[in-house]
Homo-oligomer: A and B are copies of this chain.
Amino acid sequence: MFAPLRNDTFLRACLRQPTTHTPIWLMRQAGRYLPEYRATRIKAGNSFMGLATNVQYATEVTLQPLDRYALDAAILFSDILTVPDAMGLGLSFGVGEGPRFAHPLRDEAAVAALQVPDLDRLRYVFDAVTSIRRALDGRVPLIGFSGSPWTLACYMVEGAGSSDYRLVKSMLYGRPDLMHRVLDINAQAVTAYLNAQVDAGAQALMLFDSWGGVLADGAFQRFSLDYTRRVLAGLKREQDGQRIPVIVFTKGGGLWLDQVADCGADVVGLDWTVNLGRARAAVGARVALQGNLDPNVLFAPPAAVAREAMAVLDSFGRPQRSDGGWDGHVFNLGHGINQHTPPEHVTALVEAVHQHSRRLREPA
């Protein structure tokens, strides 16, 4: 059904297999910093969801960064909030604003009414996955994704982005029973959503626990990680004889690395606050690591970008261990690329990662 994969470096690194270079992709690599993205978005009525719900546009913007840069993976163009939207919460993106829900979960009745959505309402996502996979024609693997149950719950209760998470944490501390019901439904929905992406053609999966890091120690384990684990346990991990690696990324979760590494993921994403060398020493034998350049490095001149990228690679070290086995590193930013990033600086980054990581594999 799909063309054979010509560059499997990303998948191999995820599975801690030998690679000729360190693969790189960038969170939000199809985005506003690219003029060609902005042009397609205008065709789509200057609307984010106009892009995401149109299979042709979603395919077009997903492939744009691959035409410009030698990236080693593609990621579905979509949003983490498609699932709560399908639950009937009424997602919208105001001009120049973040996402907003018309019907946030603010009381017991709203929580009681919440249901796992009919996956047919997310058909546009699965159609986009299949279309993108076909358009990729085997160039690089396609990553599908979802928000984690906790991260979705943050938006579902707050109704929008938040600086203090007051409403969702009020529910968590004041009515943990309601919080657990929301998370349980989210975990079921996310599991089904990701499995359907695999059926549609996704070759790897990523779970964005973008707001796990705002939780207190203890609360993180009970309200975020436990539900991430539940999703992982329900995922298909193989399709057509090929392992489907799963990446879990808890932004701000460096303190819980050891526990996250045991949640069932193949790869743990790290933000730039984490020392990659120490992280590898702690969990590198169990999982591959993804990250972790500060996206703001991309505002520095290209020579500085290359220097900082090499420092990240050096911090991880030679992927081949002295015992001959391999640890896995997927280069990425520690957060989505900033919309003001100069596109030519990304060229310098990708070249530096590829060149320096090849050098790191040469015999000492």
**What residues make up the interface of A, taking CB atoms closer than 8 Å to B?**
164-166, 169-170, 173-174, 213, 215-220, 252, 254-255, 272-276, 292-297, 299-301, 304, 308, 311, 334, 338, 340
Contacts and interface: CB of A to CB of B under 8 A. Distances in A.
Given A216-B293, A217-B276, 12 more contacts: A164-B295, A169-B294, A169-B299, A170-B296, A173-B299, A174-B299, A215-B294, A216-B273, A216-B334, A217-B273, A219-B294, A255-B274
A296 B213 contact: no
Contacts of A219: 294
Contacts of A297: 169, 173
28 contacts: A164-B296, A164-B338, A166-B296, A166-B338, A166-B340, A169-B294, A169-B296, A170-B296, A170-B300, A173-B294, A173-B297, A173-B299, A174-B299, A174-B301, A174-B304, A213-B273, A215-B294, A216-B293, A216-B294, A216-B334, A217-B274, A218-B275, A218-B311, A219-B294, A254-B254, A255-B273, A255-B274, A255-B275
A272 B216 contact: yes
A231 to B, nearest CB: 22
A165 B296 contact: yes
A300 B174 contact: yes
A292 B255 CA distance: 15
Contacts of A272: 215-217
A259 to B, nearest CB: 11
A184 to B, nearest CB: 21
A130 to B, nearest CB: 34
A254 B297 CA distance: 23
Contacts of A334: 216
Nearest to A169: B296
Nearest to A214: B273
* Identical copies of this chain, number: 2
Nearest to A305: B173
Contacts of A304: 173-174
A143 to B, nearest CB: 24
A219 B276 CA distance: 14
Q: Which 3 pairs show the lowest CB-CB distances between chains A and B?
A: A169-B296, A173-B300, A216-B272
A295 B164 CA distance: 9
Nearest to A277: B217
Contacts of A166: 296, 299, 338, 340
B170 A299 contact: yes
A156 to B, nearest CB: 17
A296 B173 CA distance: 8
A296 B166 CA distance: 6
Nearest to A294: B216
Contacts of A275: 217-218, 255
Given A273-B216, A296-B165, A308 B173 contact: yes
A300 B178 CA distance: 13
A274 B165 CA distance: 18
A108 to B, nearest CB: 15
